[in-house]
Amino acid sequence: MKRKLFLIKVLLSIVLLNTQCTVKAPEDEAVEKSRSLVAGFVKKNRIPGLSVSVSKDGTMVWSEGFGYGNVEQQVKVDPSATRFRIGSVSKTLTATAIGLLHENNKMDIDLPVRHYVPSFPQKRWEINIRQIAGHIAGIRHYRGQEYLSDKRYATVTEGLVMFQDDSLLFEPGTDYTYSSYGWNLISAAVETASGTEFLQFMKQNVFEPVKMTRTVPDYGEVLTPFRTGFYALSEDSTWFNAPSVDNSYKWAGGGFLSTTEDLVKFGNAILTGGLLNKATTELLFTPLTISNGKSTDYGLGWRKYEGNGGGEWYGHSGGSVGGTAIFILSPKEKMVVAILSNLSEVGYDRLHFTIAENFMNYR
């Protein structure tokens, strides 16, 4: 009888052990749920390669690549290494330069921009860094196929020729019109205020302190390790190589390459005060208002979003030739999400917020 009871206890222990082994940790469930979601999204949207990285409380909780960074050579995406075009997420990085110079009393964002860039033509109204960074200065955006420019500009000041002779669209502060060209002008102002060439300033003061070792300007003719191929979709959903472009006229507003893991490092540095003090971060995050009192939902290089369950998120999207990016962070949740792909015109919709929600469900 005792032997029988002993065998029953052993069998029950084995059953309980197996049951415990099949119970997944909440974070594992979040990863599996997100992985399935992204894999389906990649397949549905015919995306050659995509990278996603998520951090919570300063710790990377998920980082994974899907598909190919280079379709022709079948090189798989590596979220720690594969460099994608980040498009206008570059503005968020450049906003840090404004913040650093502001903190060190080297840039007054309310002075006329011509104080820093005297070569910029006089307009009907004066415009300042705050207005330009918040897209309320009246500077125009791309026209026609200007975004396909393949001309090399030796300096950021040379690149201003793309728009500098055009009139402002409206009196500064009275309306909102998104403009990547405005950030070209900001990069020229950064050079004057810092006394350092723009790309060098970004490397020394933003990228290196955060150990963003994979974030670099997208020089087309330079051999750049782990740079992804750039693709577009034909009408019959066939991949083809996106047109060759030169981003030298718009480093500050859309010319950088990066990885999702580098962007997460950057986001965590912003959240923890590793780059800017709290007051400066608040300055960059706070949406501007135009003269009628309406909020633009856009601060200085940072857009304000509402998460799936409410709550304030900040970040930027980025569309470039052969690349689509989204980067968001939540001060409250202490979470950062970055998604990069090597396909033009990908509509992420709320994918990034759904992923964030998956990881918010465990503490």
Segment (H or E) for 42: helix 26-44
What is the model's pLDDT at position 25? Answer: 61
What is the model's pLDDT at position 345? Answer: 96
| Paired tokens of 147 | 């975004």
pLDDT 10s per residue in the chain (363 long)? 555 544 444 444 433 344 344 445 667 899 999 999 999 999 999 999 999 999 999 999 999 999 999 999 999 999 999 999 999 999 999 999 999 999 999 999 999 999 999 999 999 999 999 999 999 999 999 999 999 999 999 999 999 999 999 999 999 999 999 999 999 999 999 999 999 999 999 999 999 999 999 999 999 889 999 999 999 999 999 999 999 999 999 999 999 999 999 999 999 999 999 999 999 999 999 999 999 999 999 999 999 999 998 899 999 999 999 999 999 999 999 999 999 999 999 999 999 999 999 999 765
E runs forming strands in 199-285 = 216-217, 231-233, 239-241, 256-258
Q: What is the pTM of this model?
A: 0.92
Q: Domain 27-360 carries which CATH code?
A: 3.40.710.10
Backbone angles phi, psi at 246, to 5 degrees: -120, 120
Cα–Cα distance measured from residue 341 to residue 326, given in angstroms and rounded to the nearest whole number: 9
Cα–Cα distance measured from residue 241 to residue 232, given in angstroms and rounded to the nearest whole number: 6
The distance in angstroms from the start CA to the end CA of the chain is 47
Sign of the C-alpha dihedral computed for residues 164, 170, 173 and 177 taken in this order: negative
Selection from 94, 219, 208 nearest residue 154 by Cα:
219
What is the model's pLDDT at position 23? Answer: 45
What is the model's pLDDT at position 27? Answer: 77
What is the model's pLDDT at position 26? Answer: 63
Cα–Cα distance measured from residue 258 to residue 256, given in angstroms and rounded to the nearest whole number: 7
